[in-house]
A and B are shown apart, each in its own frame.
Chain A
């Protein structure tokens, strides 16, 4: 076993931030969910007791008698802001004294870095390149992430949970966000940072980066598994397979919406519902493609002369 390799990756100055986020993200997720569950308990109590709901306060940490509801920004907020600024300045100073920004050799187009990795925050995108062609992984999916994020407020018709932490009142939204951010985005970054070595090959923690490692990169296309070799038939099969994927995942999501989220479904118009379905299906396509690539070495589902998926 070669833990030195893992240590080397982890302590790379440029990777300190990802190590930092691996500590901060669980903490803040816990902090948010802790308050969400506390609120959920109170909500449950109030829902079951309408009388209590009329009089009981609607916050977990209510005001004490004699307190002002509002406090002056000066000094109560500004002193916090000032202190935070001081603390951040100290942190940045200490960080800058202890850790030097990397500077490699001068740029040399004739000497390829192997592996040549993007900065850690883009490694999720770089990792997606394994599963999809560059036009999807590098252009279409990033654009959809941005557009999809911007669309969230306009497709989330649930009026509950505005301005307070809650999980129970917005299960679908919370699960979707955590699936997309905590699971997909962060996991892809972790794989990209810690598990990818020369040639973008997988090296598990404890393995040495072997620059001469040969990996059987044999792959098949989905239609070939079913014995198809004719390009036209393969293309038709691919289209059918993609439609089947959309129908199945979309159908499951639809049943889920109609059965479990009837009131939300009723409030959505067709554009909102279509957008949610489209984004969900696209998001699911990533882990599905990752699984069929790693398990069956399936490179493409749909092959055409112009593009492959």
Chain B
């Protein structure tokens, strides 16, 4: 055991077999003795410190750094208005909407493993998912109900923002971004409706896209449409469905809009939305009330 190591060792005396005390084994022992306290206190080691840049002590500095130095948390400020964490003011609906989006993304990724966006196969995939895939049913259920819940929470979030006048200067633009996010949320839910390729989704999407026939100027049944040369085979509905009826192409298009295009768009708008919440002064309140007799000062200021 010792022989091959001796050739590399820096102690030639050990080669005789007499110097057991100074031998490399002894050196290893000592090193491991040194290592024990290091292993017992990993927080003082190099690896830990390279990951976590500051101690965990409950000091104001560390509490701030915990938020500021974490990529997932840094959208928060280090400190916020005491009242703003109260449920009655914010209702937490914006955050819940975002959390539901995360749930939907996760369950959606799992669902994509079991789903082919093509006619006949799609429906079978859902049946297979419900009956043969472990936890498949709960996966699909959760995706569906989270989607519905997200619409409810988005509406309630919008209502809270309106009721507290939080769209007012300087947050005007962020309200508009929020409206776009609401539309994207509805579209995501709607495009997902077709994917099981069952009667429910098929007819809901048929009814929904039939309205596109009547688009003014761009639909073949809309005012000005036929005059511009619109037919069932080149109008805006054709572009949405990839055909003149809800069929294989429509399924594929719904799938790509649902799984890639709209989530990417929504993510971009979400980044802007959250960023602007911070940049426009954080959460809007509860702000001190302004009296009507003072309202003129605000406009000038």
Chain A positions near chain B (C-beta within 8 angstroms): 14, 16-17, 20-21, 24-25, 28-29, 31-33, 35-36, 39, 42-43, 46-47, 50, 53, 57-59, 61, 63, 67-78, 80-81, 84-85, 88-89, 92-93, 95-97, 99-109, 111-113, 116-119, 121-122, 125-126, 129, 133-135, 137-140, 146, 149-150, 152-154, 156, 158-166, 169-170, 173-174, 177, 181, 263, 267, 306-307
Q: How far is the CA of A255 from the CA of B190 in the complex (A)?
A: 42
Q: How far is the CB of B228 from chain A (nearest CB, A)?
A: 12
Complex CA gap A89/B127 in Å reads: 25
Which single member of A43, A59, A74, A119 contacts B291 (CB below 8 Å)?
A43
Residues of B within 8 A of A134 (CB): 210-211, 213-214, 221-222
Pairwise interchain contact A135-B222, C-beta atoms closer than 8 A: yes
**A177 B290 Cβ-Cβ under 8 A:** no
Binds A, one of B27-35, B161-169, B260-268: B161-169
In this assembly, does B114 line the interface, its C-beta being within 8 Å of a C-beta of chain A? no
A104-B200, A107-B201, A152-B175 given; A164·B289 CB < 8 A: yes
Q: Which of A50, A72, A121 contacts B79 (CB 8 A)?
A: A72
Report chain A residues within 8 Å CB of B202: 107-109
Top 10 A-B pairs, shortest CB-CB distance: A138-B211, A163-B287, A163-B285, A58-B288, A153-B172, A107-B202, A134-B214, A116-B203, A96-B141, A307-B223
* Residue B133 at the chain A interface, CB threshold 8 Å: no
Q: How far is the CA of A97 from the CA of B60 in the complex (A)?
A: 43
Task: With A92-B146, A152-B167 as known contacts, state yes or no: A139 contacts B211, CB within 8 Å.
Answer: yes
User: What A residues does B143 contact at CB under 8 A?
Assistant: 101
Cβ contact within 8 Å between B164 and A164? yes
17 A-B interface contacts by CB (under 8 A): A35-B89, A59-B286, A69-B81, A70-B79, A88-B99, A97-B141, A101-B145, A102-B200, A107-B123, A109-B202, A121-B189, A122-B190, A156-B168, A161-B164, A162-B290, A164-B288, A307-B216
B290's nearest neighbour on chain A, judged by CB, is: A160
Q: Which of B96, B171, B219 contacts A153 (CB 8 A)?
A: B171
User: Which of B66, B152, B175 makes the CB contact (< 8 A) with A17?
Assistant: B152
Q: Closest Cβ of chain B: how far from A219's Cβ, in Å?
A: 19
Q: Is the CB of B214 within 8 A of A103?
A: no
B245 cross-chain contacts in A, Cβ below 8 A: 109
A206, B47: Cα distance in complex, Å: 70
Is B142 engaged at the interface, CB distance under 8 Å to the other chain? yes
Inter-chain CA distance A173–B292, complex, in Å, is 16
Stretch of B2-10, B12-20, B191-199 at the chain-chain interface: B191-199
Chain B interface, number of residues (Cβ within 8 angstroms): 107
Q: A73-B77, A135-B219 are in contact. Are A59 and B288 (CB under 8 A)?
A: yes
CB A29 to nearest CB in B, in angstroms, measures: 8
Q: Is the CB of B151 within 8 A of A88?
A: no
Residues of B with Cβ closer than 8 Å to A? 60, 63-64, 66-67, 73, 76-83, 85-86, 88-89, 91-92, 95-96, 99-100, 103, 120, 123, 126-127, 130, 137-138, 140-146, 148-149, 151-152, 155-156, 159-160, 162-169, 171-173, 175-176, 179-180, 182-183, 186, 189-190, 193, 196-204, 206-208, 210-216, 219, 221-224, 245-246, 284-293, 295, 298-299
- Determine the distance from Cα of A78 to Cα of B76 in the docked complex, in whole angstroms: 9
Contact B165 A162, beta carbon cutoff 8 Å: yes
CA distance A307 to B120 in the complex (A): 40
Chain B residues closer than 8 Å to A105, beta-carbon distance: 198-199
Give the Cβ gap from A58 to chain B, nearest Cβ, in Å: 3
Residues of A within 8 A of B66 (CB): 74
Question: A119, B189: Cβ atoms under 8 Å?
Answer: yes
How far, in angstroms, from A129 to B100 measured CA to CA in the complex?
31
Distance of A51 from chain B, by nearest CB (Å): 13
**Known contacts A99-B141, A109-B202; 11 further A-B pairs (Cβ under 8 A):** A47-B292, A61-B86, A70-B80, A88-B99, A93-B142, A101-B141, A104-B199, A106-B199, A121-B186, A135-B222, A161-B164
The minimal Cβ–Cβ distance linking B151 to chain A, given in whole angstroms, is 5
Q: Is the CB of A162 within 8 A of B284?
A: yes
Report A64 CB to chain B, min CB distance, Å.
Answer: 10
- The 8 Å CB contact of B80, one of A73, A101, A104, A152, is A73
